[in-house]
Amino acid sequence: MNEFKINLKKETFFINEGNSVIGDICFSFGDWYFPEKDWDDFVVLLIAWLSGEIIKLKFTNKEPICMRFMEGCFKIALSLDNESECIIQFIEGEKLAGDDEVIHKEITVPFEEVKIEVKKSCELLLKMKETKELDFEEEYEELKESYELLCKC
């Protein structure tokens, strides 16, 4: 079964010298991964940003949103159709940098599925912070606030 997932490997998480949480984060649809299965990036930053953008997407519903990975030139673009379906494009390249943009895959899933995945990711990170399993400060308040708003929409 093809399911949209946000994959976080908490055993890979660490706090770098800039106090940001780094670790494995990627998206998957069935057995397809983006950018790749063991992608290292800024986990809390990306999830905090994505959760805030999901809220905007839900309430403005006009402009697509993009989540850019901090490492490499990869991003996902999300938009809503009129039926509360979320269209997700997995893109490599950046037009603003003069690159061609290649859409590796485009999927359509219910917005609620996307919201649930983002909420689960927030919950994992917040629980790790609260139990001091991962005692980070960077982006904590932003993550907590956007998670609380996500729970209300």
* 13-47 pLDDT tens trace: 999 998 899 999 999 999 999 999 999 999 999 99
Q: Are strands 32-34 and 65-68 parallel, antiparallel or unpaired?
A: unpaired
Compute the distance between CA of residue 38 and CA of residue 89 in angstroms, rounded to an integer: 20
pLDDT recorded at residue 147:
94
Count of structural domains, the chain: 1
- The reported pTM is 0.91
Compute the distance between CA of residue 60 and CA of residue 55 in angstroms, rounded to an integer: 9
Please say if the pLDDT value at position 10 is more than 70.
yes
Mean of the pLDDT values across residues 70-78?
A: 92
Compute the distance between CA of residue 91 and CA of residue 106 in angstroms, rounded to an integer: 9
Under the banding of pLDDT at 50, 70 and 90, the label for residue 8 is very high
**Residue 74 sits in which domain range?**
4-152
Please say if the pLDDT value at position 97 is more than 70.
no
Under the banding of pLDDT at 50, 70 and 90, the label for residue 82 is confident
pLDDT recorded at residue 1:
61
Compute the distance between CA of residue 39 and CA of residue 24 in angstroms, rounded to an integer: 5
Q: Give tens-digit pLDDT for 99-151.
A: 789 999 999 999 999 999 999 999 999 999 999 999 898 899 999 999 999 99
